[in-house]
Every structure is written in structure tokens, then in C-alpha cells.
Amino acid sequence: MEESMEGPVEVPEPPPKRAPGGLGAPFALGGVTVVRHGESTANVAFAEAVGTGATEPMPGSDAEVGLSLLGVRQAGALGRWFAGLGAADQPQMAICSTYRRARETWAVMARTAARLGAAVPPVLVDERLRDREMGVFELHPPPALRARDPRESARRELLGDWAYRPPGGESTADVALRVRDFLTELDRTLPGGRVLLVAHDAVVAGVRFVVEGVGAPVPDGLPPVPNASVSRWTGDGRRLHLTEWGGTGHLEREAPR
């Protein structure tokens, strides 16, 4: 208590320190597994552009970018991983991004798993699982973005991908908003159900942010989400708990080609 000219003044206690993470959003789902698509032709082209400094954007539409040859093999490895899941871990429903690279990943996964005798769940496609839209910079590798608009490139570096929204496009925070809408609807539709999502790295980060709930830290600086990786959350009837992030053990077991 402190003294003032008007008498004693109550000084409030400082708030308790928040525990790491958020409060945990309520979800009745039995489990959510999110697979990032296999390596795409754009992944290859972007890596080459960063290495060479090439400043030309890729032609075509991001939604129509398909898998590379390595990406197809990675999808096959995902199918073998899927076939090896125990009954308690097998998803009852698969939901796929509308983008070609994600749909191709699921198609190869499903064929491979079926050949190995696994039961393949029904699949749906949902627009809300699409990749982050880059607007006027669609299919622009970083050197191409810098060459086209150095000031916008600098703004992106200043703000970071969570907050940066390219003209006509989305920030990672925008992706998280549509992922939250999707998960909320899914939770009401399939309480207790186990689902597999085949999507993109921005969607995986969005799922993590949404599941962590109120007070969740911005998912900048997370460990990477590699191509064809597996991230998993298990449910206890009230919350989802992260049990694996960006797992690639199924890829490492593959024989070299």
C-alpha cells in the first residue's frame, strides 16, 4: 500500500506470468493428423532461383503446381506409413486441399496404402485447406519478388510472414483464421473422430496456432514443416495435444534411389 495526498492507495499485484503456449482451445475430435504435400515442382524451382538469383516468376497458377518426381516417391512413402498405422491411429476421414500437389499426394498415398491391404478412408476436398495466397506475387521466388518490387520485399522482411499480406494475397494470420473456421466446423461434425488433412506448411502452422487456443504465441520461428512430413495431435475428448511435429522418419527409412 502506498500513501498519497488523499490517503492510502491500493497497488494491485502484478498479474501472474502466463504459462508457455495458450489456454488450449476446446476440441472433441479424437485426433488430427496433418500431412504436408510431397516436394512440388515449385519447391524445386524456388530453391534453384534462390541459389542462382534468377528473377523470373514461374508461369501458370499456384493451384495447378504438381509434384516433382521426388515428391511422388515421398507420397508413396507416406502411403506405406499410412498402411503401417495401428487400428487406434488410423484416420476415419481424409480431407484434402484443393491444390493439385496436395491432391496428387493423397492419390499416391491412397493407392500405395490400398495395395498393401490398408483400408483407405473416404476423402473430401475443402477450399479452406488451400495454401497461402500470394496475390500479385503468386509463384514469385524471393529473388523475383525483390527484382519486381524491392520496397515490398523489404516490407515483407520487416513484418515477417505472420503479419505480411502481399497485395491481393494473405498473411499467415489470414490462413490461421480460415483454418480455425474449418477446425471448428469439423469438430462439430465429427466429435470423437480421427481425421487426416493433406495440405501445406502454412496450414500446418495454422492448425498448431488454433489448437493452442487463447494466448497462443505467434507461430514465427517454429521448426520447419518439411515436404511429406507428418504432424499429429491426439484428443482426450476435451482438447487436442501435439504429439509429433514435422516427422519424417518414414522418409528416412526409404532406400536411396
- State if pTM tops 0.85: yes
CA-CA distances (angstroms) from residue 116 to 76, 77, 85, 112, 251? 11, 12, 12, 7, 17
Nearest in space to 175 (alpha carbons), one of 189, 185, 161, 195: 161
User: What does the alpha-carbon distance between residue 7 and residue 110 come to, in Å, rounded to a whole number?
Assistant: 75
- Backbone angles phi and psi of 244, in degrees to 5: -155, 140
Question: Who's near 143: CB < 8 A, 6+ residues apart?
Answer: 49, 50, 53, 54, 55
CATH class of 24-252: alpha beta
Cell of 215: 494466448
Burial of 51 (0-12, 13-18, 19+ CB in 10 A): exposed
Single-letter amino acid, residue 242: L
pLDDT, residue 15, reads 46
Phi, psi of 158 (to 5 degrees): -70, -45
> Looking up cell 491391404, which residue turns up?
117
Q: Is 100 exposed, middle or buried (0-12, 13-18, 19+ CB in 10 A)?
A: middle
pLDDT of the residue at 17: 46
Residue 36 sits at φ, ψ, to 5 deg, of -80, 140
Task: Read off the C-alpha cell for 143.
Answer: 529473388
Mean pLDDT by 10 residues, the chain (257 residues): 54 50 91 98 97 95 98 98 94 97 98 96 98 98 95 95 96 97 97 97 97 91 94 96 97 66
Cell readout for 210 is 488454433
* Residue found by looking up cell 515483407 in the block: 156
And the C-alpha cell for 92? 476415419
* Number of Cβ atoms within 10 Å of the Cβ of 90: 18
Region at 61 (left for phi over 0; alpha for psi -120 to 50; beta for the rest): beta
Going from the C-alpha of 171 to that of each of 28, 63, 155, 167, 176, the distances in angstroms are: 28, 17, 13, 10, 9
Point out which residues pair with 198 in neighbouring strands: 35, 96
Our CA angle for 217, 179, 133, nearest 5°, is 95
How many Å apart are CA 178 and CA 26, to the nearest integer?
17
